[in-house]
Structure 1
Amino acid sequence: MRHLVVIVSSLCFLSACGKAPENTALLQVQLTALEHRIQAEGELYAVNAININAPQSTRGPRFIAELTAEYSSVAPGDLVIRFDATQLERSRRDAANALSGVLADQDFKGSQQQAELTNIGLDQRLVQQEFAFADRFSIDDVQIRSRLEILDSMQNKEFLGEKQSYLNWQQQSFAARSQGELDLLQLQKGQQQGLLEQAETGLAALEIRAPHHGILLYDTNWRGEKPEVGRMVFPGEKIGSIPDLSLQHLKLQIIEQEAVGLAVDQLVSFRLTARPEQVLEGRVKSVGQVAQSRERRDPRRYIEVIVEPSAQQDFFLPGAKIRAEIQANTLAEVVAIPLQAIFNDEQGQYVWQQQGGSLQRQQVTLGAKSLTHAEITAGLSAGDRISLLPPEQ
């Protein structure tokens, strides 16, 4: 009897799965307006700006010795940054001392080579004179001189000939050796002259001055730090900029998951954080194609959106914080239901539609979406009732 009761209870439970109980969360589908608005934050930036970069004329890093305050108004010729000259002056002094040493070595080596060449020349002339004397007064007659004297005279002439050949070889070898030494000294001289010129060029570029009127802005490095006195900068590194305030745009950062339906020319309303009471308008000028991370510790990725204001305002300043709302999509009189009521599997998207006293699976086709609702282009009509939860819940 107990088994019979269990079987009957199970059958009753299974038969109730497809029915819509009285407490099921049902929603009647209606024609409504579908608005997709995206909230974003960003800042103003100048479209045209002259960059301030560390000079590339020196090797190695440089240190900031003097810095004009950020957001200062500058005129042409005003000092922006002055770099420390200690390292460059040390390099110039070392290069000048090394160059003086090379020049002294060149003078000494030239005098030494000239003295050695003079000695070789004197030895050559002496050998020539001895050879001419021996040839002039050589007597081969045995009646006048003995055979031993004649042989000695012949050996002396042979010795003088060998000595002359040796001196000629020594002269040629000396010329090749001395030229190599002079070339090495000349190479060292050119190297030290290059270092000296580089140091002097760096000393001449210790100051960066403003090229035109504007406001001074500094860039942050990868750690979010702005330039300060004592900071090290590398050749060519961008330090800041002097923007043209006559043309400024908005740069917005939107979370990748929320950037649905973004397109060029969409309407944007925004407020400056410093002026929350004033609402301004603009239009999307460009949408970034690749999402990027903004901070190391933030796992979210952001899409960059550029907005062109409808009008330039006198109070626009680069770097001013912005809160904006993008009207990504607006559709009037469409069938739209909450995303919560849409389910999907390998067969596609579907909803649970009330048909009679039960919930039936109904395939649907989606159109435009917002962050909370989706347009239904096929599968539902106004007046249909759907469940926000699956039957098992």
Structure 2
Amino acid sequence: MKQIIIPSLAMLSLLLASCGEPTSTVPTFELSPQRLQHQISAEGELFAVNAVSIHAPASRGPRFIYEISPEFSEVTPGQRVVTFDATQLQREKRQAGTALAGVAADKSKKLTDQQGDLLKLGLDRLLVKREFSFADQFNIDDVQIRSRLEILDSMQNKEFLADKQHYLGWQQQSFQQKSQGELELLQLQQDQQQSLLSQAESGLNALEIKAPHKGILLFETNWRGEKPEVGRMVFPGDKIGSIPDLSLQHIKLQVIEQEAKGLTAGQQVRFVMAADPGLQLRGKVLKVSQVGRSRERRDPRKYIDVVVEPAAQHPAFMPGKKIRATIEVNSRDDVLQVPLQAIFSAEQQSYVWKQQGSSFEKQSVSLGEKSLTHAEVLSGLAVEDRIALIDIGS
């Protein structure tokens, strides 16, 4: 008997399930004209529109911070904000100066020696020239006066003097070329040391960074999240911080990409500073980025950057202050709308479950504007229609 009852109960439960949930247990929503308000909540921070970046000076090696003003301190035009250690540059300057003086001394000595050698070669050449002229002038080749051996010896002496004169001329020319090469090498060394000296002097002149305008000093964190401090090593061109101009500040908000539909420039924004939530301020959207980007490595969501221009600059504005804002994307009165949770889709067609007496029927609908919670109904439903808030067919 038990074997017959159990299958009957199972079949009864299946029949009840196929009839759908009872109407009394299904949450419903009655349509009526209401205000459709599309608002987007976002968080961000203030930033200065105009800011001067502070970079480590360009040099041949890293530099060490000797003195630095406190972060968030107010600075005035011309005020020294960062000073780098001069020990290494002073050592390089001394070394370059010493080397430059040594090369200059070598060059002076080499020039003096070359002038002396050239003068000696010139005198030898002049002496040989005069000897050759004398031998040529007083050469007697008359065999009645001189013997043949004396005549041959005189001719050989004349040829020797001519060859010697030619050799001394070649030696003088070669020496001049060699001397010119040695002087050019010393000049190259001198120019090199002069360049090192100039680099050291320019580096010493660039050891101080001064504020170009009035503002506040902000530091930049490195890849380890550390900020500049006394004794820290920085490499040429590294960004140390910035000095923003506090007279003009905007807001950068980050909106989840899926919620950014409908964002455009000119939309009104209500915002508060996290440090002063009771102060309600207003602004407008100035710019919306076209491409979303990740904010954190572990966060798969992408965010759209939205730049907001405050209606007025407030004395409490400070770059980096956190902002909570509400962007008024769209607002319309007397709109027939349904909750997004009551809308379903199949085969690219939206539909709802419309109540008909004690049951629900699938009703196709055409939708218009949407907010984060509701959607406008263009066709398919009328005022006082009641729909289910859950999927009856699931």
Q: Same fold (TM over 0.5)?
A: yes
- Number of the residue aligned with 2:337: 336
For each residue in 1:164-217, what CA deviation from the matched residue of structure 2 results, as whole angstroms up to 9, or x when unmatched? 222222222222222222222222212211221221122123222334443322
Aligned-pair identity (%): 59
- Number of the residue aligned with 1:48: 50
For each residue in 1:77-113, what CA deviation from the matched residue of structure 2 results, as whole angstroms up to 9, or x when unmatched? 4331111111211221221122112112211221221
- Number of the residue aligned with 1:288: 289
Consecutive unaligned residues in structure 2, runs of 5 or more? 1-6
Kept after mapping to 2: 8 A contact 1:342/1:349: no
What amino acid does structure 2 have at the position aligned with 1:370? S
Structure 2: distance between partners of 1:366 and 1:233: 58
- Number of the residue aligned with 1:245: 246
Kept after mapping to 2: 8 A contact 1:20/1:354: no
Q: Could you say if the C-alpha distance between residues 361 and 151 of structure 1 is closer, same or farther in structure 2, counting changes exceeding 3 Å?
A: farther
Kept after mapping to 2: 8 A contact 1:38/1:258: yes
Q: Could you say if the C-alpha distance between residues 232 and 302 of structure 1 is closer, same or farther in structure 2, counting changes exceeding 3 Å?
A: farther
- Number of the residue aligned with 1:377: 378
- Number of the residue aligned with 2:3: none
The answer on 1:95 being equivalent to 2:93 is no
Q: Could you say if the C-alpha distance between residues 117 and 87 of structure 1 is closer, same or farther in structure 2, counting changes exceeding 3 Å?
A: same
Q: Could you say if the C-alpha distance between residues 380 and 348 of structure 1 is closer, same or farther in structure 2, counting changes exceeding 3 Å?
A: farther
- Number of the residue aligned with 1:201: 202
Structure 2: distance between partners of 1:211 and 1:358: 72
Q: CA deviation at 1:368?
A: 2.4
- Number of the residue aligned with 1:319: 320
Kept after mapping to 2: 8 A contact 1:40/1:323: yes
Q: CA deviation at 1:311?
A: 2.6
For each residue in 1:108-134, what CA deviation from the matched residue of structure 2 results, as whole angstroms up to 9, or x when unmatched? 221221122123212212221221232
- Number of the residue aligned with 1:68: 69
- Number of the residue aligned with 1:164: 165
Q: Could you say if the C-alpha distance between residues 294 and 90 of structure 1 is closer, same or farther in structure 2, counting changes exceeding 3 Å?
A: farther
Helix, strand or coil for the counterpart of 1:220?
coil
Q: CA deviation at 1:73?
A: 2.7
Kept after mapping to 2: 8 A contact 1:76/1:212: yes
What amino acid does structure 2 have at the position aligned with 1:89? Q
Q: Could you say if the C-alpha distance between residues 313 and 197 of structure 1 is closer, same or farther in structure 2, counting changes exceeding 3 Å?
A: same
Structure 2: distance between partners of 1:191 and 1:382: 90
What amino acid does structure 1 have at the position aligned with 2:203? G
What amino acid does structure 2 have at the position aligned with 1:86? T
Q: Could you say if the C-alpha distance between residues 164 and 28 of structure 1 is closer, same or farther in structure 2, counting changes exceeding 3 Å?
A: same
Q: Which moved more, 1:326-335 or 1:94-103?
A: 326-335
What amino acid does structure 2 have at the position aligned with 1:163? K
What amino acid does structure 1 have at the position aligned with 2:40? I
Kept after mapping to 2: 8 A contact 1:42/1:251: yes
Q: After the TM superposition, which parts of structure 1 deviate over 6 Å for at least 4 consecutive aligned residues?
A: none
Q: CA deviation at 1:314?
A: 2.2
For each residue in 1:244-301, what CA deviation from the matched residue of structure 2 results, as whole angstroms up to 9, or x when unmatched? 3333222222222222221222222222121122222222222222323334444433
Q: Which moved more, 1:63-72 or 1:138-147?
A: 138-147
Q: Could you say if the C-alpha distance between residues 310 and 108 of structure 1 is closer, same or farther in structure 2, counting changes exceeding 3 Å?
A: same
Q: Which moved more, 1:215-224 or 1:246-255?
A: 215-224
- Number of the residue aligned with 1:350: 350
Structure 2 length-normalised TM: 0.84
Equivalent in 16, 31, 34 of residue 33 of structure 2: 31
Structure 2: distance between partners of 1:113 and 1:256: 80
- Number of the residue aligned with 1:85: 86
Consecutive unaligned residues in structure 1, runs of 5 or more? none
Kept after mapping to 2: 8 A contact 1:103/1:189: yes
Kept after mapping to 1: 8 A contact 2:363/2:380: no
Kept after mapping to 2: 8 A contact 1:266/1:327: yes
Number of aligned positions between the proteins: 383
Kept after mapping to 2: 8 A contact 1:71/1:216: yes
